[in-house]
Chain A
């Protein structure tokens, strides 16, 4: 369905490095994906794999120093965000691309009323008077399902529950008709029943306003229900990218396979069966040698994995995977020779 829609955000070869005392941390190392209008794309991976840094980089919010976006481009409707001036950037942040964060308590100012915070956002980006902005804010709060918004708007964040705060964040993010909504683990801090409410809300907004959503999560269940396309990240790179159905039906990268198999399933439980577990720990991304970062934990590794990063292979029109298992024999031979030559 997303093919007919035009792309709103294109990320091409994004690289974000952090300079630390221990060495250079390649938090994001060559990530590319495209988000189309009205599409929901999921970024999945374990902690430390670079999901959040990818999205902070899209908004150029990575603290610098120590962080630095060293390469790649992010095209928003054809314009490169990486080359914009601060002023241009400000007109895009919160206006065309907005974000909601994991913990709604830390991302709302506890000293200010909800009304003050929302009106500030709206006035900054749209040519409205304070009164009009307030009306708009009330309308948005009603849209996200806050009961009696005209009264609740004058409350402080602590007077709301976790789920309500997340609704306020979503209302604020959407108050300027953002084209892209980046949701960084929006439901991780919430309970299952509240999570279901918030996910339903994001889905509704996605359909109604045709907002493209980038959903960052570690929960494979959430991805299955919400996303059209999924990118699986590991150690700063996308290892597999596919439409959701295809990814779950035929995961091609050993990491994706392991990830899916290691989640206990409510629908087909087999007590006697042990869970599949990926042994070992995620790698330290400081000064990672040129190899597949997953090879120490991989159950299908071959010789070449230890020496060279696998090429990204197109498995079908929409399915890509970075693994040597999908490379042809000639490619592997060629790579092995190259490794030998370089010692």
Chain B
């Protein structure tokens, strides 16, 4: 469905390295954590792109770099024809109106001393003060907007004078979503919005997100480590490992026909809530842990744990190979002979 739509966001070879210093007073750099190490993908208008991977694979860093919360080490993030990495603060401020975030921990991402009303109205106030909204909004207009937003995310508007601690986890996440919606953004970056929630609440929030998307046509980049959640919500999926993209594909294609050995292992490791299927299928157990991302690699990033490794993999980084429509994989097994 998303084929004929235009590209909203393009990430090209994005790198985000964090320096490690030697602990001395001059902070001499002795290395770098390569949190994101050359990631490229595109996001089309109105679609949901899922990013999945284990902890430490650079999912969160990746979207934070897209939102320019960190200054990326290298690469380009092109949003509406403008490279965000090179944009000055003024342009960035204007463009950020269309890029909003939802965070994982709804308690930590809401200021405990602010009422729900001021939390949701804050982005509106900031842009209103600078005159970046369509017209100068009056206090009543903002008040009105807050009430509409609260109703939209399923919160009772009479609660607007309450503080975040008076709400449960699921409701707090709804406040976070309302805040992200306040400026009518074009794209929302959702950083594990459901992983801190219970199953029954998780289903409520996932339904809310897909309803909002249908209604308002917002593009989402959705991070989760739960593969089933990603499959449910996404149109396309990016699988990341150690700061690299391993596989990009349409969601159904990826789950039915995974190509990369890492994706296959990841899918087989995720438990399925059906005892008959769960017991009969074969699990691929990867040995070892995710290695530390602090050194430069010459070969495939998955080399240490890969069950199908070849000689070639140790010294050549695989590029993205096409293997089917809209399906790319970074693995030498799929090199066209």
* Neighbour of A275 across the interface among B207, B271, B276, CB < 8 A: B207
In the complex, A75 has a CB within 8 A of chain B: no
Q: Contact at A264–B231, with CB atoms within 8 Å?
A: yes
A140-170 CB mask vs B (1 if < 8 Å, else 0) is 0000000000000000000001111000000
**Which residues of A272-290 have CB atoms within 8 Å of chain B's CB atoms?**
274-279, 281-282
Provide the bound-state CA to CA distance between A30 and B227, in Å.
Answer: 36
Provide the bound-state CA to CA distance between A266 and B229, in Å.
Answer: 8
A297 — which chain B residues lie within 8 A by C-beta?
200
In the complex, B69 has a CB within 8 A of chain A: no
- Interface with B: A112-120, A129-137, A174-182, A195-203, which one? A195-203
**Beta-carbon nearest neighbor of B292 in chain A:** A161
A273-313 CB mask vs B (1 if < 8 Å, else 0) is 01111110110000000000000010000000000000000
Provide the bound-state CA to CA distance between A244 and B279, in Å.
Answer: 11
With an 8 Å Cβ cutoff, the count of chain B residues facing the other chain is: 47
* Neighbour of A262 across the interface among B54, B200, B231, B270, CB < 8 A: B200
In the complex, B266 has a CB within 8 A of chain A: yes
In the complex, B303 has a CB within 8 A of chain A: no
Tell me whether A266 and B272 are in contact in the complex, defined as CB-CB below 8 angstroms, given that A46-B198, A192-B54, A277-B203 are known contacts. yes
Provide the bound-state CA to CA distance between A248 and B54, in Å.
Answer: 28
**Beta-carbon nearest neighbor of A194 in chain B:** B289
Q: Contact at A224–B272, with CB atoms within 8 Å?
A: yes
Listed in ascending order, the chain A residues whose CB lies under 8 Å from chain B are 46-47, 161-164, 191-197, 199-200, 218-225, 244-245, 248, 258-260, 262-267, 269, 271, 274-279, 281-282, 297
A-B contact pairs, 26 of them (CB 8 A): A163-B289, A191-B55, A192-B225, A192-B227, A192-B270, A193-B265, A193-B269, A193-B286, A196-B285, A200-B283, A221-B270, A224-B274, A224-B278, A224-B279, A244-B275, A248-B273, A248-B274, A264-B206, A264-B231, A264-B233, A265-B272, A266-B227, A266-B267, A266-B272, A269-B252, A281-B201
16 more contacts with CB within 8 A, not counting A197-B287, A220-B273, are A191-B54, A194-B289, A197-B286, A221-B270, A221-B271, A224-B278, A248-B274, A263-B273, A264-B228, A266-B228, A266-B270, A269-B228, A274-B207, A275-B207, A275-B232, A281-B171
Listed in ascending order, the chain B residues whose CB lies under 8 Å from chain A are 54-55, 168, 170-171, 198-204, 206-207, 210, 225-229, 231-233, 251-252, 255, 265-279, 283, 285-287, 289-290
Nearest 4 Cβ contacts at the A-B interface: A221-B271, A264-B232, A262-B203, A196-B269
